[in-house]
Amino acid sequence: DGKSRMYKTGDLVRYLPDGNLIYVGRNDHQVKIRGYRIELGEIEARLYEHSIVREAVVVAIGDGSSKRLVAYIVADPTEDLAHTLRSHVSSKLPEYMVPVAFVRLDSLPLTPNGKLDHRALPEPDINSFVSQEYEVPQSEIECILASIWSDILKVDRVGRHDNFFILGGHSLLAVKMINQIRSRLGTSASLHALFEYPTLAEFAPRILQGGVIDKSALDVLLPLKPQGSRPPLFCVHPGVGLGWSYIALSKYLHSEQPIYALQARGMGKSAPLAASIEDMALDYIDQVRSVQPQGPYHLLGWSLGGAIAQCMAVQLERMGEGIALLAMMDTLPEISMLLHKHQLDMDEDEYIVKYLGIEDSLEGKIFLHQAQHVAKNNRDIFNRYSPSVYSGDMIFFWATHSNHLDPRSWAPFTLGTLEVHEVECKHEDMDKAENLAV
């Protein structure tokens, strides 16, 4: 009758062919692995969708950085069961929720009370793992690179087909990794190559000679994932001027979703800096149109980048173009609220050094000077900027631990709806893997 009270019990069930329901388990037992909060019941529910699975339970084994997901399956003996189920789960869930092993059982062990006996679950054997999942590094460079990744990402072993970002890497760790390559191999590496070739076997041959920061990673338009049939997502840099923060986004979006970052001029090549936010927005629109000549466009920006993305949306509307998405990550119109003073104070280098991962080298000092120059200009032009009204809808991701920010400050600058999603983190942690997953 539409007036009945309903309760969310947290129980998972599935339909039987005769229309009855069978209890599967709870959907509120969470674990945390490499920063991700994972509902084990959600994985179990996806396993139950496969016809060969009669019963399933997923548990986390190990401690700390070695913690991994293992699925225990009641099913008839089936060749390539691990391959089949891994492929099935991978098509429905992100990589960090896919178990590393699938153990077949004749029945689940139960306690005298009829509950699952976790202590009686067997250790996974070699047949429980997907055999192609791990391949030992081969060349000397691969072995050294695997050691670096293992140290930085806090994982026990790294195989040839492991993906840097799926293992938990992000922009800061990528720069740290490249600094370690320089230290241990006497060479540098291309950040751009890491974006395009994120597995160990693909990236190792592309380590460059010369010990310099790869200039292609500083281009105004940086392809993070250029392949895909969907309209591209264009991500605008925060105050520091680099778009590396968006590297890990691809693993949370559709496999056919292209991603490009927009970066400030002056980081890589000597070029005049933007005179205003409006000029910067028009410049970036030209870059966007070189990839996608006509709208509707998808725009995202973190911190200062959100304000620039909103300005781009206004300019594109005036040009008669459509905007399919305007999303902001913890952005406000007022500079005093948007940017922490210590982040862009040119007398204090700590924030920029931390963000870029720059070591005390001549090249690092030159790059630091460029970053300071760009960041100061970004701060100055934003200090003079007043947003125009955008007629469409906006999505706002709010870092709730930064209580000086109020997403409602954007309400006067949009005629559409302002949809707010809360992210439990600080402003400066919005690019961390567990927060991008939101």
Cα–Cα separations (whole angstroms), residue 108 to 49, 72, 354: 18, 8, 49
CATH topology of domain 219-436: Rossmann fold (3.40.50)
pTM of the model: 0.57
Better-scored residue on pLDDT, 25 or 228: 228
Averaged pLDDT, 264-281: 88
pLDDT class for 172, splitting at 50, 70, 90? confident
Averaged pLDDT, 202-209: 71
pLDDT at 231 over 80: yes
CATH topology of domain 11-133: GMP Synthetase; Chain A, domain 3 (3.30.300)
Domains 140-212 and 219-436 share a fold: no
> Which has the minimum average pLDDT: 125-129, 134-138, 331-335, 401-405?
125-129
Q: Are 55 and 81 in contact (CB under 8 A)?
A: no
pLDDT at 25 over 60: no
Q: Give residue 404's pLDDT.
A: 65
Q: Give residue 346's pLDDT.
A: 34
pLDDT class for 263, splitting at 50, 70, 90? very high
3-state per-residue secondary structure call for the chain: CCCCCCCCCCEEEEECCCCCEEEEEECCCEEEECCEEEEHHHHHHHHHCCCCCCEEEEEEECCHHHCEEEEEEECCCCCCHHHHHHHHHHCCCCHHHCCCEEEEECCCCECCCCCECHHHCCCCCHHHECHHHCCCCCCHHHHHHHHHHHHHHCCCCCCCCCECCCCCCCHHHHHHHHHHHHHHHCCCCCHHHHHHCCEHHHHHHHCCCCCCCCHHHHCCEEEEECCCCCCCEEEECCCCCCCHHHHHHHHHCCCCCCEEEECCCCCCCCCCCCCCHHHHHHHHHHHHHHHCCCCCEEEEEECHHHHHHHHHHHHHHHCCCCEEEEEEECCCCCHHHHCCHHHHCCCCCHHHHHHHCCCCCHHHHHHHHHHHHHHHHHHHHHHCCCCCCECCCEEEEEECCCCCCCHHHHHHHECCCEEEEEECCCHHHCCCHHHHCC
Better-scored residue on pLDDT, 227 or 51: 51
pLDDT at 118 over 50: yes
> Which has the minimum average pLDDT: 240-244, 412-416, 434-438?
434-438
Better-scored residue on pLDDT, 360 or 46: 46
Q: Give residue 293's pLDDT.
A: 96
Better-scored residue on pLDDT, 125 or 239: 239
Better-scored residue on pLDDT, 97 or 251: 97
Q: Give residue 282's pLDDT.
A: 97
pLDDT at 209 over 70: no
Q: Give residue 326's pLDDT.
A: 97
pLDDT class for 338, splitting at 50, 70, 90? very low
287-326 per-position pLDDT tens digit: 999 999 999 999 999 989 999 999 999 999 999 999 999 9
Give CA–CA dist 31/69, Å, rounded: 9
Assign domain 140-212 to a CATH class: mainly alpha
Q: Give residue 142's pLDDT.
A: 82
Q: Give residue 240's pLDDT.
A: 84
Q: Give residue 327's pLDDT.
A: 96
pLDDT at 23 over 70: no
Averaged pLDDT, 169-175: 77
Domain regions of the chain by residue span? 11-133, 140-212, 219-436
pLDDT at 340 over 50: no
Better-scored residue on pLDDT, 244 or 72: 72
Which of 211-215, 264-268, 353-357 is the most confident on average? 264-268
Q: Give residue 355's pLDDT.
A: 55
Q: Give residue 34's pLDDT.
A: 58
pLDDT at 69 over 90: no
- Per the prediction, the chain carries an average pLDDT of 80
